[in-house]
A and B are shown apart, each in its own frame.
Chain A
Amino acid sequence: MSLWRGLHIFGRFWWDFVVGDTPELALGVTVIVLGGWLLAKSSAALAVGLVPLGVILLLLGSLRRGARSG
């Protein structure tokens, strides 16, 4: 029971830390990093430009969502 509770608290901490109330950011970061990893294998120069661009688009999209709901 206490082990289960400990695991629950541990999982909850990581969920709040990584996902929190912005699941789109966690999902977006996963997509960007995976995309960057795949791109780096074929075209490193493209990855250098596209990874920051993906981060910017993700931030702007999430801000738009936040402004609409706020």
Chain B
Amino acid sequence: MTATVLVALSVFGACAVEMVEALTIVMAAGFTRGWRSAFEGAAAALVCLAILVAALGPALIHFVPINVLRLVVGSLLLALGLQWLRKALLRASGYKAKHDEDAIYRREVERLSAAPRSHAGRDATGFVISFKGVFLEGMEVVMIVLTLGLSSGRLLVSMAAAAAAVIVIGGIGIVVARQLSEVPENAMKLGVGLMLVTFGTFWAGEGAGISWPGADLALPGLLALYGAVALVAFTILGRGRGQAVKAGAA
């Protein structure tokens, strides 16, 4: 039960973060090149991503032993989670610029407005830009859906959580249109990073032959431990950044 909830939350969060980035590109393509091409491009990319998950998931379960799968998948999740966590903490403490969806949106609009328009039917540029945006951002989600779903034996939960994120964030995106910068992307990235590191440690450990005390109950324990470390790291980084800014101003 605990693992199911954590898997669903992790996939939902990861998918939501990537959806915000993809939606910015789709919105820019829609406003400048027409909504039909932008939506068709996004829908085509979503279909391709869903086919990838549906094809790769069962194949991996069938052909790869579960311990090997957990070792490899756990290591991948650990590496990816640490990357997300590191980036989110450096952004939150001011060492790295935050992901500015407004700036990305403006840049895309400028670029797309300058491109020549096709006179009849679909706009190829709008379709391709929208497809590429959703497909490339979605590949990371596919990896997370597959790795979390396969290691936990909850591929359907994982796929459902991703689909829910697509619907929820897509719906919000359509309603608020250009206000995607309001979404607390960095906080979400930090939360998902923590969960990926937790699952990565747990499954890489299980694949390596470690029996965690309390089995699935070790997951909240690991999450709390990494959360506390992230909080301490954020405090120390924030203090260091404050001193550096003061020293620069003096």
Contact = CB atoms under 8 A, between A and B. Distances in A.
Interface of A: 13, 17-18, 20, 22, 25-26, 28-30, 32-33, 36-37, 40-41, 44, 47-48, 51-52, 55-56, 58-60, 62-63, 66-67, 70
Interface string B137-148: 001100100000
Contacts of B160: none
Given A47-B208, A51-B205, A29 B82 contact: yes
B212 A48 contact: yes
24 contacts: A17-B140, A18-B76, A20-B83, A22-B83, A29-B78, A29-B79, A33-B71, A36-B204, A37-B209, A40-B208, A44-B210, A44-B211, A47-B209, A51-B204, A51-B205, A52-B201, A52-B222, A52-B225, A55-B201, A55-B226, A56-B225, A58-B82, A59-B197, A67-B241
What DSSP secondary structure best describes chain B's contact surface?
helix
Interface centre among A13, A25, A41, A58, by most B CB within 10 Å? A25
Interface of B: 71, 74-76, 78-80, 82-83, 85-86, 89-90, 93, 95-96, 139-140, 143, 197, 200-201, 204-205, 208-213, 222, 225-226, 229, 233, 237, 240-241
